[in-house]
Amino acid sequence: MATVSHYRHTNCVLSTEDTHLLNLSPSNALWDGSNTIACNELFVAIPWLNCGGAVVFQHGDHGLAATNPPTVHGQGGSIIDVAFNPFHKEQLFTASEDGSIFGWQIPAEGLKENLTEPFVRLEGHLKKCGIIRFHPSANGVLASASLDKVVDLWDVEKATVATELTCHKDYVTGLDWNVDGSLLCSSTRDKKVNIIDPRKGGFVSTAEGHQNARSQKCVWAKRLDNILTFGWDFMQRREIMVWDPRNMKTAIHTTCTDQSSAAPMPVFDEDLNLLSVASRGEGRVRNYELIGGALVHSFDFSSSESVKGYCSFPKRSLNVKECEISRCYVLGQRKLFSARMLLPRKMAAEEFQENVYPPTFADKPAISAKDYFDSKKNARPLEVNMKYLFDGSAPPTAATSAKEHVKNTAPAVSAPSREEVKKPHVHEKEKLTSTAAGRVHVDPSTPKEADVKKHATLRSLCAKLESQRAELEKLRAETRKKEDEVMKTIEELQNLAL
């Protein structure tokens, strides 16, 4: 029996036309490493065309936007990535083509006038900065990547570079943290996928990624401890690879999605292990569930709008009584609208769906920047039970401490081979338990051990078939090339005969 997604019956509901935000002028300075837009519980931020800055809208905004709305601006180039501070809702960070990163304090009531003075300036990159990623549990720790091939780790409070990583030979096109911030993964223009130890300032391991020269992206599935990379193969087919960070010799799973040149914009749901992938310039959004180190197709949704930016809401924004498992923003060429993913559950309005809403990452930090940089401390994010959303009560004042993540310090070369690893690595705390630190979605139809082995064999055979198919395509291409050479020789002979 083939593995199926727990969320395959999800119904996507696009927002109605009267709730769309229209007359937008998003920036054309796009960067493959960025999803272009970002949102949190209060706001959504969009790089803007006219001023070289960014606009910030509240979630209730709709209708025709002003031609020249209030913006945050002051950097010397166009904004190419934006990110909200996960622990301070009113703080927006913008990365610019001039290499600078500015932090802005957005008023709780939203922008009513232009904001030109940031509360912090992070200046150090020599070329355009296209990726900014906040540490998942440390307050005021930000990673940034630039065309200067440098990854900087910033202490935001001090406005200084605490760690400068110069180990990359080419510029970074994808960057993400692991669950406790002890490691980073990166993808680079030279087709490499890397794991970086920021404390040592170098690579833990490096692997050959996607074989096409186009820019790759990477996402670290934190709770499952898998790395996902997005790119193209040598036949121009888009593909997603899944990696085990303990053994980076080869990907443990590869999914070919389609044949397209559109840049992927992935979003990963840590609570449900659900991957959502939009594509710049297309209207279709694909969704997969990560199960046992393999991606299983879950559901798709489409709109007539050509996608320019894509981001997801925090779990605290969802309507749990409608069993809303995800909500995202889709930025089109001139409009912004939302899409809600609803899982059919008859009792959702009467009973809290605990298996759909496990404890989620809290909006409070587990450690400080001083703990991270000076004390070399790592910590998993704090977690909060989502039942308060169902009860209609106030958010918990204290979050639950998750179990400490134990980092595997063994070098990649001494890691076990794929043949020795019977199944992809899962930490003990991420087994299906009822504890707050390790709870994940549990389906009553979970397959038995025999089925798991059967599915593993099936996946192995599918991977083998895909490899053989790729070899066959390569041979066919070589045959066609040789036929062209023969025809050219025949043509030359005919020309001489004439």
Compute the CA torsion angle 305, 311, 315, 318 (nearest 10 deg): -20
The predicted pLDDT at position 202 comes to 95
**What share of residues in the chain are helix, strand, coil (percent, to 5)?**
15, 35, 50
- Each residue's pLDDT tens digit in the chain (498 positions)? 678 999 999 999 999 999 999 999 999 998 888 999 999 999 999 999 977 799 999 999 999 999 999 999 999 999 999 999 999 999 999 999 999 999 999 999 999 999 999 999 999 999 999 999 999 999 999 999 999 999 999 999 999 999 999 999 999 999 999 999 999 999 999 999 999 999 999 999 999 999 998 999 999 999 999 999 999 998 899 999 999 999 999 999 999 999 999 999 999 999 999 999 999 999 999 999 999 999 999 999 999 999 999 999 999 999 999 999 999 999 999 999 999 999 999 999 999 999 999 999 999 999 999 999 999 999 999 999 999 999 988 777 666 766 543 333 333 333 333 333 334 344 333 333 333 333 343 343 444 455 656 666 776 777 777 677 677 777 777 777 787 787 778 767 767 766
Asked if 98 contacts 140 with a C-beta cutoff of 8 angstroms, the reply is: no
What is the residue-wise DSSP string for 461-492? HHHHHHHHHHHHHHHHHHHHHHHHHHHHHHHH
CB atoms within 10 A of CB 27: 22
CB 394, CB 388: distance < 8 Å: yes
What is the pLDDT, as a whole number, of residue 398?
Answer: 60
CA 380/CA 362 separation, integer angstroms: 11
The dihedral built from the CA positions of residue 404, 82, 40 and 288, taken in this order, carries a sign that is: negative
Residue 236's nearest CA partner among 217, 262, 254 is 262
pTM for the complete prediction?
A: 0.80
CATH superfamily label, 11-342: YVTN repeat-like/Quinoprotein amine dehydrogenase (2.130.10.10)
Distance CA(333)–CA(28), nearest Å, equals: 10
Calpha distance 366→211 (Å, rounded)? 39
Type of residue at 401:
S
Secondary structure (3-state) at 44: strand
Q: Are strands 160-165 and 217-221 parallel, antiparallel or unpaired?
A: unpaired
CA distances to 60, 249, 379, 404, 495 from 407, in Å? 42, 19, 11, 9, 70
- DSSP states of 55-97: EEEETT--EEPPSS--EE---SS-EEEEEE-TT-TTEEEEEET
So where are the chain's domains? 11-342, 452-498
